Amino acid sequence: MTTLLREAKRPTVPITEIEQSAFCRTDESLKSKTLEEEFSAGVRWQKLPIEYLKLKPEVIDARIAEAKKALGTRLVVLGHHYQRDEVIKYADLRGDSFKLSQFAASQRDAEYIVFCGVHFMAETANILAQPHQKVILPNLTAGCSMADMAHIDDVLDCWDDLQRVLGGDGGITPITYMNSTASIKALCGRNNGIVCTSSNAPATFRWALEQGRRIFFLPDQHLGRNTGVKVGIGLDEMLVWNPFKPLGGHTPEALRRARLILWQGHCSVHTRFNVKQIAQARAKHPGIKLIVHPECTKEVVDLADCNGSTEYIIKVIKESALGSVWAVGTEISLVNRIAKENPDKTVFCLDSVVCPCSTMYRIHPAYLLWVLDGLNQGAVVNQITVDEQTREEASVALDRMLSVV
């Protein structure tokens, strides 16, 4: 099928995006309930033995501690910054997805890596892990709405179209955010592309522009746009690719003029923050400092005092002056944790409605207990594996990232 004849697809919204508001609350209490109570949120949950449904938090707490002790050094538990406190406290390390995956690979004595995060993170851990290590995701429904917005079949169609239109006109270098599937990381690996994190995105953009005239960035358009501006790409040189329209909704001429083509994806958490919230925070707290994640919209990033990765946000607030006041535009579980760890400052979430990452929040302590009980009984449940070819190609893109930062 030729480029110009490719038919428009029926627009679809990932179920993970539809479910994002399931755990939003008007108060700030995010304490875990029994899993049976949390099932009432009306989202997809992975089935598990009924005995775990009614366990009280204190019972789960004691049993997880016992199960971890029994597994000893054979086990490493990783906790992403966005996890609830009731899970984070069992993590041997907490951090962003790539930091955690690198740590897991360095723990050569560990046979089991239990990743309390989401699916793409466990995939990356498997790509970097040693052959003898088994990576486990406690709840298989813990996905990522942003990653789900870039289905590999749609991305392959897009890449084919871009090659037909641009292949002989300065080319295009693909960059995928860490928040993407292994298959998309592999596509970048085999097409002279690269992976980036929110902290090293500018460095990877500069590297990519040395390879050719254009960048194809996915899946988060906002991180891509904000990074493009940082490296000197004009907004008039950027296009957003709509996977449900022929040629992404653009003419061949428009694509040839572009320097940055952005996939139409976003983070369901970070796009909740808006200009009105910023105005309200500044009016209520004169002299306040505002820090946001670069997955927020450009309008929000432009009005913030600073922006950066989760690790950057933690560091900036920790090192700030005593008594300073911070409004933070990122996931609420992390914001609450930063506030607790910085009692000498005032730290609150820019969004007054408490909305944790709904997919991350599905790693309920009962699921962690379930997989640990299985390991102690000799059963590996929810193992995440990436096929060898995908693993090799994705590793190429990850290695390139490490070589440019």
Digit-coded pLDDT (tens) for 308-322: 999 999 999 999 999
Q: What is the pLDDT of residue 405?
A: 63
Q: Are strands 346-349 and 325-329 parallel, antiparallel or unpaired?
A: parallel
Domain boundaries, the chain: 32-143+359-387, 147-268, 270-349
User: Does 355 score more than 90 pLDDT?
Assistant: no
Q: Are strands 260-263 and 75-80 parallel, antiparallel or unpaired?
A: unpaired
Task: Tell me the pLDDT tens digit for each residue of 201-227.
Answer: 999 999 999 988 899 999 999 999 999
User: Does 303 score more than 90 pLDDT?
Assistant: yes
Of 166-170, 202-206, 222-226, 249-253, least confident by mean pLDDT is 166-170
DSSP state of 9: P
Task: Tell me the pLDDT tens digit for each residue of 12-68.
Answer: 544 454 455 555 554 445 566 788 888 776 677 899 999 999 999 999 999 999 999
Q: Find the helix or strand (DSSP H, E) in which 249 lies.
A: none
May I ask the CATH architecture of the domain 270-349?
A: 3-Layer(aba) Sandwich (3.40)
Same fold, 32-143+359-387 and 270-349: yes
Mean pLDDT over all residues of the chain? Answer: 90
Task: Tell me the pLDDT tens digit for each residue of 359-395.
Answer: 788 899 999 999 999 999 999 999 999 999 999 999 9
Q: Which CATH number fits domain 147-268: 3.40.1180.10, 3.40.50.10800, 3.20.20.70, 3.40.50.720?
A: 3.40.50.10800
Q: What is the pLDDT of residue 103?
A: 86
Q: Provide the 3-class DSSP secondary structure of residue 325.
A: strand
Contact call for residues 379 and 370 (beta carbons, < 8 A): no
Instruction: List the one residue out of 325, 268, 321 whose CA is nearest residue 291.
Output: 325
Tokens 């679809």 correspond to 12
How many angstroms separate the CA atoms of 80 and 94, rounded?
5
How many angstroms separate the CA atoms of 217 and 220, rounded?
8
Domain 32-143+359-387 has CATH 3.90.1300.10: no
Name the E strands within 47-158.
75-80, 93-95, 112-116, 134-136
User: Does 398 score more than 80 pLDDT?
Assistant: yes
Tokens 């500069």 correspond to 206
